[in-house]
Structure 1
Amino acid sequence: MVEADLYQQINMVEVAIDKLQEALEREPNDPIIHFALAEMLYYDGQYLRATSEYETVLDMSESQVNGGNLFSRMADCSLQSGNYSDAIRLYDEINEDEMTSEDYLKKAISYDKNDITQEAIKIMTTLLSKDPDYIQGYLYLQSLYENEKNYPDAIETGKEGLRLSQFYKELMYTTGCLEIEHGDANEGVLLLKQALEVDNAYQEPLLILSDLYRN
């Protein structure tokens, strides 16, 4: 396993995987080696093989190994592979007190990808009530509301996020566009200008403002 770690550190992932498989030939019932191989495969994007190794570890030991939740890993493998129903099932196996903010976000994405958007909104609302500083969550929740054509809540979600971070230019841009199209156009223009103050090379708000002034 030491050799595998060294090969991973110098970006020779396939060699590292081979070394772990050699270690498994010597110790086929060692859950730590199976877990190390699963992690290596996971970070290399080999999600189906990683899932198989995580399942082996789960059969051998607890659902937590080295501080990592196996259901979380397997759920993300399913999400990344496009198996959204499996991702939902696996995320639902995780106790809420064991879920990270990233788990909540990915669980919401899984529901949304399965066209269960209202449940995704509920999950994101729960996430932001538990971790209001998870700033990227506001942008995703806003997009969910927008897809549902719930523009008032989309705008309010953007404003909530901006109250926490005055330098989140992407949220300024999306909230500004929503204001221009579905709310207070003057407020929207102001938000686009603020986004440019944060980054004067930010093209998206510049293009919108140019179109507005041209008309």
Structure 2
Amino acid sequence: MSYSAQMIEAIQNEDLDQANAYLEKALTEDSEEDLYALIETLYDLGFLKETKQVVTYLLTRVPDEDGLKLTLAEIAIEEGSELEAFEWLEQVDVSSPYYIQALLVSADYYQTLDLPEVSKQKLIEAKELLPEEPVIDFALAELLFTSGNYKQAITYYENLLEGHHLEFAGISIHGRLGNAYGVIGDLDTAIDYLNEAVEVQETSDHLFQLGYIYFQKKDFTHAGELFHKVKDLDPSYTSVYVYLAKVYLEQHEEEKALEIIEEGRYYDKETSLLYSIGAEASLALGNTEAAENYYKKAMDRDPENLSITLHLSNLLLEQERYQDVLALMEMKLETGEEDPQLFWNSAKAYNGEEEFEKARENYDKAYYSLKDTPIFVKEYAVFLREEGDREGFLREAKRYVLLDPNDLEVIEWIRNEERY
């Protein structure tokens, strides 16, 4: 038995001291064939330091072996040694049989460095050198897909299908195409591809993605059926509970939506969206107390989510709980958030509390962003009218009429005001 084989056996027996002793012997006694096999096994086992030691030794014997340089580049990448990785990759010349592999390693590394355009250039160069290689098509498709260039990604995924590659690296090509077409808005083509993906392999992901496309098409019957299949196949698939609850809301079956939400909470108590939908369902049923509790739970889980805060504040405004609204708005504004809706809701609350000066101050803060929002401008005009600011009222009422020329009530207000 070679020392290389004995080293691997010692590693498997967790005798690392003995493994290192065998490594020293392997470097001096084993054949090159044994050492190449040792490199592959050590790398696969994650023993990068030892792999590097063997590769470095072999390079002293075969200094022009570009495959070894590539291995050192990959080890450097694993270790986060960016400069060293590129030094080894640059040593692989365009005339080398390993050049295309070097391009693929470079492309992969540039992608991890968040440089997708450079990665794309490397892959296109590889494609020009080896136009029929499916690995390159897949790498290009995945790069373009993950960077949001879905139309370009579709071209390469379809190349793979034309070459009868239904799956690559465990990824369904039909599934990827379905998702890509869905994102660009071609929902019917997306459904066709996702149905193919489900036919090849009925996975939770494929069923959910197909259900989501039907949801986008507002075909809530088909969407619900598919989401139920996902839930039955994998009850811990937490995303499905949110969309199944949304389906029931769209079908005005709020009680069923709440049942699904409670079922989903068994598997995931931290998703704020579940609680937000619970609040929406509770409001539809007229249960404002339950809605408030759901909103508060959603806020606890996602305190930076402005939408949840605003929905809760709107509920409190309807209940004329102005002090609670102001406390909520102040809490959000103290974080540095300056969304105009926060100022608008604060203005409503101060107006309700008859603190008119503060109300106007907050209307003014919201004004720049909301001056083209009809409902805001009308409300502000009414506020100014009640405050006795005739000039301000006429200015904002006229602005409002430009935004909504069919509101005869406001037109009449303006006429009446201008008579005096």
Q: TM-score, normalised by structure 2?
A: 0.47
Deviation at 1:6, TM superposition (A): 2.3
Equivalent residue number for residue 135 of structure 1: 238
Size of the alignment, in residue pairs?
215
- CA 1:188–1:7: 2 relative to 1, 3 Å: closer
- CA 1:180–1:66: 2 relative to 1, 3 Å: same
Alpha-carbon contact 1:145-1:151 (below 8 Å) kept: yes
Equivalent residue number for residue 207 of structure 1: 313
1:82 and 2:185 correspond: yes
- CA 1:113–1:205: 2 relative to 1, 3 Å: closer
Equivalent residue number for residue 6 of structure 1: 109
Alpha-carbon contact 2:208-2:240 (below 8 Å) kept: yes
1:32 and 2:135 correspond: yes
Structure 1 runs, 4 residues or longer, greater than 4 Å off:
183-186, 196-202
**After superposition, what is the alpha-carbon deviation per residue over 1:25-82, rounded to whole angstroms, capped at 9, x for unaligned?**
1111111111111111111211122111111112224301111110011111101110
Equivalent residue number for residue 153 of structure 1: 256
Alpha-carbon contact 2:197-2:206 (below 8 Å) kept: no
Alpha-carbon distance in 1 for matches of 2:226, 2:283: 28
In the TM superposition, what are the counterparts of 1:50-61 in structure 2 within 5 Å? 50-61=153-164
- CA 1:156–1:96: 2 relative to 1, 3 Å: farther
In the TM superposition, what are the counterparts of 1:44-55 in structure 2 within 5 Å? 44-55=147-158
Q: Secondary structure at the match of 2:218?
A: coil
Equivalent residue number for residue 163 of structure 1: 266
Alpha-carbon distance in 1 for matches of 2:174, 2:210: 12
Uncovered stretches (5+) of structure 2, i.e. residues with no partner: 1-103, 322-420
**After superposition, what is the alpha-carbon deviation per residue over 1:152-177, rounded to whole angstroms, capped at 9, x for unaligned?**
22222112112333333331232133
The residue type paired with residue 44 of structure 1 is S
Equivalent residue number for residue 70 of structure 1: 173
Q: Which moved more, 1:12-21 or 1:187-196?
A: 187-196
Bigger relative CO (Cα 8 Å, ≥ 6 apart) = 1
Q: Secondary structure at the match of 1:149?
A: coil
Alpha-carbon distance in 2 for matches of 1:106, 1:57: 21
Deviation at 1:97, TM superposition (A): 7.3
Alpha-carbon distance in 2 for matches of 1:195, 1:114: 28
Alpha-carbon distance in 1 for matches of 2:237, 2:130: 41
The residue type paired with residue 94 of structure 1 is A
Q: TM-score, normalised by structure 1?
A: 0.87
Q: Which moved more, 1:116-125 or 1:97-106?
A: 97-106
Alpha-carbon distance in 2 for matches of 1:27, 1:88: 33
**After superposition, what is the alpha-carbon deviation per residue over 1:106-132, rounded to whole angstroms, capped at 9, x for unaligned?**
211211222322101110111111121
Alpha-carbon contact 2:141-2:152 (below 8 Å) kept: yes
Alpha-carbon distance in 2 for matches of 1:165, 1:7: 35
1:178 and 2:284 correspond: no
Equivalent residue number for residue 118 of structure 1: 221
The residue type paired with residue 125 of structure 2 is E
Specify the structure having the higher radius of gyration (Cα).
2
Uncovered stretches (5+) of structure 1, i.e. residues with no partner: none
- CA 1:193–1:10: 2 relative to 1, 3 Å: closer
Deviation at 1:99, TM superposition (A): 4.4
> RMSD of the alignment, in Å?
2.4
The residue type paired with residue 123 of structure 1 is L
Alpha-carbon contact 2:198-2:207 (below 8 Å) kept: no
Alignment identity in percent? 26
The residue type paired with residue 65 of structure 1 is F
- CA 1:115–1:172: 2 relative to 1, 3 Å: closer
Alpha-carbon contact 1:195-1:205 (below 8 Å) kept: no
Alpha-carbon distance in 1 for matches of 2:302, 2:142: 37
Q: Secondary structure at the match of 2:165?
A: coil
Q: Secondary structure at the match of 1:211?
A: helix
**After superposition, what is the alpha-carbon deviation per residue over 1:79-113, rounded to whole angstroms, capped at 9, x for unaligned?**
11100000000000013673443332221121122
- CA 1:154–1:96: 2 relative to 1, 3 Å: farther
- CA 1:214–1:163: 2 relative to 1, 3 Å: farther
Alpha-carbon distance in 1 for matches of 2:303, 2:127: 54
- CA 1:73–1:176: 2 relative to 1, 3 Å: same
The residue type paired with residue 113 of structure 2 is I
